[in-house]
Amino acid sequence: MAAALPPVALGRLRRTCRGAHGAAPVGVDWARLCQPRELAAAGELRALRYLYVHDNDNLHPFHTLLIAAHQGRCKVVGWVLDHWQWDQNALFRVAKYTSDREVLRRLSAAGLEHSPDTLFSAAQNGNMALLTAALNAGVPPDSGLESLPGYGDKLYALAIACEFGHLSCARALLMAGADVDRQGRNGSALAETARVGQLECMRLLLECNADVHARDWEGRTDLFSKGRLTTSCVERDQTACTRLLLKAGADVNAADYGGYTALMHAALYGKRSLSPLLEAGADAHAANANGFTPLLSACRSGYMENVLLLDGLGADPHAVSADGTTALMPASRRGHGDIVRWLIDKNVDLDAVQQDSHRGAGQTGLIISYGDQRRMLIEAGANLNVTDTQGWTALMHDCENGNITATRELIAAGADLCVSSDNQCAINLAVDGQHWPCGNAMAQAYEKLQKEWHDRK
């Protein structure tokens, strides 16, 4: 029987049999003595006491306390708290992972001080017991945590509880007097809830008369959809949230400080139907001060359903923003082939040049496209030699970047090898950048052209 025990337990058994540490308690499972975490989770205090007496140097009281607190093992928690000294940080870390009220009471008796950190952590994790303990200890429900540098306002427990869908915590904070319209880093609680699609929390806030017209520090209202849009609840509830806000009286055509409406934001951020906004009277032809339209947004995001919805309402596919951006440019850059094909069929300007770009040089659809989108533009008759604001052609850009496939395609289509700007030409860019395959392709094409010219003479 002894040979079947784990080596550590077997060693302890041999020491005990020699009388070095006295007899083991009757009923102790020796095989489990090397698993203090299991003992803490099961609440086997007697075995834990023996283990800590005889092997204290190799054990970690914090882990025992954490596991026992998480499982609600009050006797184990009390024993560990009584036998070791604990600082605030350790007690707080344990409190975050328990929802047992008696355990929390013992942690408070051991010196746990409730603070805004406690309240915020409880709201974020949906820990009602800890949240109630913090409120009962006098932590104000509107206590805020300092935001990250550069983000301005604080983060508040009500907003974080609503963001994660912890309805009970949100209700408790409101009953304790939390301001339903308090503006934090991400706007009000209603704005944060709408942003992530927490429908039930939205209903709670609206029942408490949350202001659907409130704006955040960028001038966005609760109806705007810009924000974190990757959680599953967004795909499930975003349309319902939009309809709920509209029913509550939200202004469908309100614009933020940049002139963007909810329709522009919805088209730009995330692949969701624009139908609820359009049905409520959203202006499909609206443009901000820079000439940016909902259709430009939809072409950038690549959701064809929204493009067709806006087209059906007469949105202009030929619209150009103040910096020369056309719908074709973002669609080409992001590889939205179906939208590129649709725009080509609409006879948009294939050779338009963006006059001002944060990337340094104004661009064209051909220059920033690749793969199938590039081939579509070539087949549709795009000017192969159109230049950006720095005088560079698509061929020059491809040579500089070492894109041999695109280089060969442009050469085969008849791109001019001799177009140059500031004494730069495509072959020089390929060679200077040590992109030898491009350089060789250019040289071979150049020799072929010279031979054809010589034969014609």
DSSP, collapsed to helix, strand or coil, labels residue 49 as: helix
Q: Answer yes or no: is pLDDT of 165 > 70.
A: yes
Residues 6+ apart with CB under 8 A from 209: 180
CA distances to 128, 296, 332, 430 from 201, rounded to whole Å, are: 16, 33, 39, 58
Could you tell me which residue, 156 or 10, shows the higher pLDDT?
A: 156
Mean pLDDT of 57-70: 86
Could you tell me which residue, 195 or 96, shows the higher pLDDT?
A: 96
| Sign of the alpha-carbon torsion through 411, 415, 419, 422 | negative
As a whole number of angstroms, the distance between CA 285 and CA 290 comes to 14
- pLDDT score at 323: 87
Q: Answer yes or no: is pLDDT of 229 > 50.
A: no
Query: Which amino acid type is present at position 142?
Result: D
**Most confident stretch, 126-135, 151-160, 353-362:** 126-135
Q: Compute the 3-state secondary structure of the chain and give helix, strand, coil in percent, each to the nearest 5.
A: 55, 5, 40
Residue 227: which pLDDT band, with cuts at 50, 70 and 90?
very low
Residue 361: which pLDDT band, with cuts at 50, 70 and 90?
low
CB 362 within 8 A of CB 355: yes
Could you tell me which residue, 114 or 20, shows the higher pLDDT?
A: 114
- pLDDT score at 363: 82
Q: Answer yes or no: is pLDDT of 420 > 70.
A: no
Q: Answer yes or no: is pLDDT of 3 > 50.
A: no
Q: Answer yes or no: is pLDDT of 17 > 50.
A: no
192's tokens: 């944060």
- pLDDT score at 417: 74
Least confident among 26-40, 126-140, 335-349? 26-40
Residue 146: which pLDDT band, with cuts at 50, 70 and 90?
confident
- pLDDT score at 32: 52
Least confident among 119-128, 191-200, 300-309? 191-200
- pLDDT score at 445: 56
What's the mean per-residue pLDDT of the chain? 80
Domains along the chain with CATH numbers: 1-113 (1.25.40), 395-457 (1.25.40)
Least confident among 18-27, 45-54, 316-325? 18-27
- Residues of 13-40 as b/e, b for ≥16 C-beta within 10 angstroms? beebeeeeeeebeeeeebebbbbbeebb
Alpha-carbon 240 to chain mean position: 21
Residue 300: which pLDDT band, with cuts at 50, 70 and 90?
very high
CB 429 within 8 A of CB 399: yes
Could you tell me which residue, 316 or 220, shows the higher pLDDT?
A: 316
Could you tell me which residue, 29 or 76, shows the higher pLDDT?
A: 76
Alpha-carbon 84 to chain mean position: 41
Residue 231: which pLDDT band, with cuts at 50, 70 and 90?
very low
Mean pLDDT of 151-168: 86
Residue 93: which pLDDT band, with cuts at 50, 70 and 90?
very high
- pLDDT score at 442: 59
Identify the burial level of 89 via C-beta atoms within 10 angstroms of its C-beta, where 0-12 means exposed, 13-18 middle and 19 or more buried: exposed
CB 417 within 8 A of CB 449: yes
- pLDDT score at 289: 87
Among 353, 348, 354, 328, which Cα is nearest to 340's? 328
Mean pLDDT of 103-128: 92
DSSP, collapsed to helix, strand or coil, labels residue 241 as: helix
Q: Answer yes or no: is pLDDT of 320 > 60.
A: yes
As a whole number of angstroms, the distance between CA 13 and CA 10 comes to 5
- pLDDT score at 5: 40
Q: Answer yes or no: is pLDDT of 448 > 70.
A: no
